[in-house]
Chain A
Amino acid sequence: KQEVTQIPAALSVPEGENLVLNCSFTDSAIYNLQWFRQDPGKGLTSLLLIQSSQREQTSGRLNASLDKSSGRSTLYIAASQPGDSATYLCAVRFQGGSEKLVFGKGTKLTVNP
């Protein structure tokens, strides 16, 4: 069964700290992996998309890595700010002919000022 798991479910850090969010997936045969941010009462905003051939993607203070062989991805957030507080979701498009994304349950991040 193709599943995506995110640990921890919640994380609270002081402002300025660097942090890592983890995502693991059960099948290494993937097309791509995407990290999203969800704010309360809002939809999801795409942060980074990593193709299966790539090892990492960077956007500003965000860096996402991908290790297909071990079925893991990390989202690194540098110099965290209170505005980074949100739920971060990892989603994987597995190979097999379907276009659907399989989502993890997310990590709720709180950055305290």
Chain B
Amino acid sequence: DTAVSQTPKYLVTQMGNDKSIKCEQNLGHDTMYWYKQDSKKFLKIMFSYNNKELIINETVPNRFSPKSPDKAHLNLHINSLELGDSAVYFCASKSGNAISPLHFGNGTRLTVT
């Protein structure tokens, strides 16, 4: 299936731990994103990579570090997890064509206890 896939689907961990979320797309897209959806369902961009280069970095704590080993993968590593990091994290991708829509993964629900 052609898709944006992210793992794990659920992640429960304690404060202070370090965790990673992986994302892969087989759509041949050039640009990948990480979005955060908080408890109020508000969706906000965190990072964007184009062909492995960082192009958007919103005001996200530097505990969050994206890594793009190739243009089909964009992983998110989070250090020293805090309670406020609990949210659903969505990976997305799109082609370089200006009229192409954004394709989302199914999300990773992170719960920090």
- Please list the residues of chain A having a beta carbon within 8 angstroms of any beta carbon in chain B: 31-32, 34, 36, 41-46, 49, 51, 87, 89, 91, 98-101, 103, 105-106
Contacts and interface: CB of A to CB of B under 8 A. Distances in A.
Contacts of A106: 41
Interface size bucket, B side? Answer: 20 to 34
B2 to A, nearest CB: 14
B42 A42 contact: no
B72 interface: no
Interface of B: 4, 31, 33, 40-45, 48, 50, 55-56, 58, 90, 92, 98-107
The SS class assigned to the A binding surface is strand
Contact of A45 (B31, B43, B45, B104): B104
Given A49-B99, A98-B56, A105 B107 contact: no
A100 B50 CA distance: 12
Contacts of B100: 49
Contact of A46 (B33, B90, B102): B102
B101 A46 contact: yes
B48 A44 contact: no
By Cβ-Cβ distance, the 4 closest A-B pairs, closest first, are A43-B104, A46-B101, A44-B104, A103-B43
